[in-house]
Chains A and B, each alone.
Chain A
Amino acid sequence: MKIAGILTAFIRRDFLIEVSYRTSFILQLFGIFFLIIIWKFISGVINPEADTPGLEGVDYFSYVVLGLAFFHYLSATITAFSSKVRNEQMTGTLEAMLVTPTSAGTVVLGSSLWIFLRTTITVVGYLAVGFLFGVGLHPEGLLSGLLVLIMTVLAFSGIGILSVSFVLYLKQGDPITLLVANISALLGGVFYPPESMYPWVARLSAFLPITHALRAFRRVLLQGSGLASILPELAALAAFTAVLLPLGILAFRIAVRKARQEGSLIQY
């Protein structure tokens, strides 16, 4: 109960800071609007057949809008932890939080919650604007989509926590975020199906959580498929979570201890 209160306090804090910058969120929504229009026209030019391998019968515009929306979500999940901690280190507020009895883990989790919440709103914005421009969404897939979202967030949080460990210990040059985000964009089926790449590259995409997450999202939200059709993807996401989350938490504990030993916990 106390943890819930603390996490709510973090969300309230970041909400108040966000609304103090009156126009930033509105401008971000405008950005989404323009991005969707641009992709609408690009899709018109590319216009691949719906039976192109990997598209699974979905039109390209719907395919790429969903890819963009959830890639945005996944990038935020990976970067939320490290970017917030780095920001708090640089503004000097991390020290003030770490001298309280609240654990470092709760501080990191709480600091990133607002990013998750704001990104969820942004993703809804992507889907809503996409819907206006012709993305065929299946509302019956929303609940299954939510389940996929939770599994995806858990799997990617492991990577996010791993990256914050780098930030706490190395202070800069968090290689995890950069590597995972770029490889995910390249191989994970965000802009094009992995099947359209060289076969050996396509096989590599199976080792990325985003590939499974996007495939599952597209099936439930764009095709209206049931849970049974995405069980392999859910199993893959669960496997990623089982490996990445404990690994991230272990790395985080080691990083905090090392940083306390070196006296660099609040340095940047």
Chain B
Amino acid sequence: MSSVVRTDSLSKVYIKRRSLREMALHPFAPAERITALHDVSLEVRRGEIFGLLGPNGAGKTTLLKILACLVLPTRGRALVDGADVGEADRRVKQSIGFVTSDERSFYWRLTGRENLEFFARLYGLGRVDGHRRTSELIGDMELGEVADRQFMSYSSGMKQRMSIARALLHDPPILCLDEPTRSLDPIAAKHLRSFVARRLHGQAGKTILLATHNLQEAEEMCARLAVLERGRVLRQGTIAEVTSGLPGRDVYLLVIRGLDAIPRDARWSGQVERSEAGAIRFEVRVDRGGEALSDLFRTILAGGASIAACTRREPSLQDVFDLMESTGGSGAPA
């Protein structure tokens, strides 16, 4: 499958401006450099939903802003539909729709329709085409009832749908969504996720680049993703690829009869999850590899207890995040 977005060793270093006071007190001190992205290489395939997952400050927004031509990279390059963001920004902007989570990015005293018609002209649509496209998108986004009301009266969900409508005005093949559900309640967020997955990706065939720190959102929506931490890509691939081979312990859910607590051992740890009829359900973390799991089972059975069920819990993105937290962001290899 061909790639529509590609970054090669992309880096962004911000140089913090010094105040006059700092310059006067320390005239020869070097300016502080903040690395927002470090050697980021990724490839987004045509027609997929690709996630950029990471905590605040991981570099997700910087990456999207580079792709939207708002920020120039310090090193490396980024191609959008074959066009370099540093050299052909007009072509890049024709190919990309950027959805910000900032509700302020509209004219609050204009109606939704007036806002979209204005931006349609900036996207190069003529007056008639702009009117037609605006009406289409208002219908698609189910904003018909409020389209002629001032933007300031819209709910957060409506504002976010307006933001998506605006990014679709020029019908770009690629959509960049920067934490689109950040300010939405759970129900509105669910509707938006469903709309993006079903309509924009499923029916319209858009390639979607989704920046999020929401693990559930990433697991639910993304075919592939990159996990970013402090500007570096820690892991990328499908969710199975990203979560496979994590160092540490496997997690098992054991339902055991005739046992109140998991026997102590350095190679495993267990805690009661809940009591079931005549049995106790434990969550047990066991060292990966070696004889630890076999020894655990032998110890339980030797004590006269019986194992009614044993399920291995697949590692999740939460485990990747947990690992990042426990290793200060350096423990998970890319």
A: residues with CB less than 8 A from B are 2, 5-6, 8-10, 12-13, 16-17, 20-21, 91-93, 95-103, 107, 257, 260-263, 265-266
Contacts A95-B100, A95-B105 given; does A13 touch B118 at CB 8 Å: yes
Q: Find chain A residues with CB under 8 A from B14 CB.
A: 262-263
B72, B74, B150 interface centre (most CB from chain A within 10 Å) = B72
Q: A99 CA to B172 CA in the complex, in Å?
A: 12
The answer to whether A9 and B118 have CB atoms under 8 Å apart is: yes
Main SS of the interface on chain B? mixed
Contact of B68 among A13, A99, A262 (CB under 8 A): A99
8 Å CB contact of A263 from B71, B109, B166: B71
Cβ 8 A contact of A5, one of B15, B72, B114, B127: B127
In chain A, what residue has the closest Cβ to B115?
A: A13
Q: Between A and B, how many residue pairs show CB distances below 8 Å?
A: 96
Bound complex: CA A5 to CA B124 (Å) = 9
A6 with B102: CB separation less than 8 A: no
A92 touches B123 (CB 8 A): no
Residues of chain B having any CB pair with chain A under 8 Å? 12, 14-15, 17, 36, 62, 65, 68-72, 74, 90, 93-94, 96, 98, 100, 102, 104-107, 109-110, 114, 117-119, 121-124, 126-127, 150, 166, 170
What distance in Å separates the Cβ of B190 from its nearest Cβ neighbour in chain A? Answer: 26
Please judge, given known A-B contacts A6-B122, A91-B104, A100-B123, whether A20 and B109 are in contact too, CB under 8 Å.
yes
Known: A101-B94, A263-B65. A96 touches B100 (CB 8 A): yes
| Cross-interface CB contact of B119 among A5, A12, A100, A262, cutoff 8 Å | A100
Told that A95-B100, A263-B12 touch, could you supply 18 new A-B pairs with CB distance under 8 A?
A6-B121, A17-B107, A17-B109, A91-B107, A92-B104, A92-B105, A96-B105, A100-B119, A100-B124, A101-B94, A101-B122, A101-B170, A102-B122, A103-B90, A260-B69, A261-B72, A261-B74, A265-B70
Q: Could you say which residues of chain A place their CB within 8 Å of the CB of B107?
A: 13, 17, 91, 93
B98 touching A99 by the CB < 8 A rule?
yes
Question: B122 to chain A: which residues have CB within 8 Å?
Answer: 6, 9, 97, 100-102, 107
